[in-house]
């Protein structure tokens, strides 16, 4: 058996960025108490997974946050808040993954703040544009369709993104 030092913990700043994204998601979904609890537990797991460099814990936390988004949509939370919650969860996962990747490739002592910030800013821009496009499409095309359909659609898209990154 070969022992190796596998300290792939991202820097604290990257963990804080992940925490910011999942906090936005949790706050957006918290008007539905059950969804807020799921998002809160998922957010804590996502931050803990990022801090420990564990993709599995990060993914589990993100999955719980997305489940909170579906639950909030099924409970008729306004579409804008559901979108912000789901995009916040995906953004938290994306920043966490990028942080873990940078720590694995460059080592825990490397200065990766700039690359993580640029990645987070670009992902946030993509998320904001996505919210705008999906919300506009929702307003134009729903014609009385339930919000749960939109939430399920967004979660499905998030799962496709997760599968593509794996």
Average pLDDT, the chain: 86
For 126-137, what is the mean pLDDT? 86
CA dist list (Å): 26 to 1, 58, 112, 142, 165: 43, 15, 27, 25, 24
Output the CA torsion sign for 47, 50, 53, 59: positive
DSSP 24-82: HHHHHHTTSHHHHHHHHHHHHHHHHHHHHT-HHHHHHHHHHHHHHHHHHHHTT--HHHH
Angle of CA points 88, 114, 164, to nearest 5°: 45
C-alpha to C-alpha distances, 75 to 31, 43, 59, 131, nearest whole angstrom: 10, 20, 24, 20
- pLDDT over 90, % of the chain: 49
Say what the pLDDT of residue 147 is: 67
Cα 112 from Cα 100, distance rounded (Å): 11
- Residues 71-115 have pLDDT tens digits of 998 898 898 899 999 999 999 999 999 999 888 888 766 778 888
Say what the pLDDT of residue 10 is: 87
| Tokens 């998030």, located at residue | 158
The pLDDT score that the predictor gives to residue 1 is 43
Q: Kindly report, residue by residue over 22-63, the tens digit of the pLDDT.
A: 999 999 999 999 999 999 999 999 999 999 999 999 999 999
Quote the pTM value.
0.80
More confident residue, 35 or 3: 35
Longest dimension (CA), the chain: 62
């Amino acid at each position: 058996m070969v022992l190796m030092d596998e300290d792939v913990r991202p820097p604290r700043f990257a963990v804080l960025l992940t925490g910011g994204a999942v906090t936005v998601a949790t706050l957006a979904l918290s008007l539905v108490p059950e969804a807020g609890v799921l998002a809160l537990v998922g957010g804590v797991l996502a931050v803990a997974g990022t801090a420990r460099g564990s993709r599995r814990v990060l993914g589990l936390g993100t999955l719980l946050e997305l489940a909170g988004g579906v639950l909030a949509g099924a409970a008729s939370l306004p579409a804008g808040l559901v979108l912000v919650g789901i995009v916040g969860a995906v953004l938290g996962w994306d920043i966490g993954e990028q942080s873990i990747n940078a720590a694995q490739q460059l080592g825990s002592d490397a200065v990766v703040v700039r690359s993580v910030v640029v990645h987070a800013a670009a992902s946030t821009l993509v998320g904001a544009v996505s919210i705008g496009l999906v919300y506009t499409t929702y307003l134009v095309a729903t014609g009385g369709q339930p919000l749960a359909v939109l939430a399920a659609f967004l979660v499905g898209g998030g799962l496709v993104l997760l599968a593509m990154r794996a």
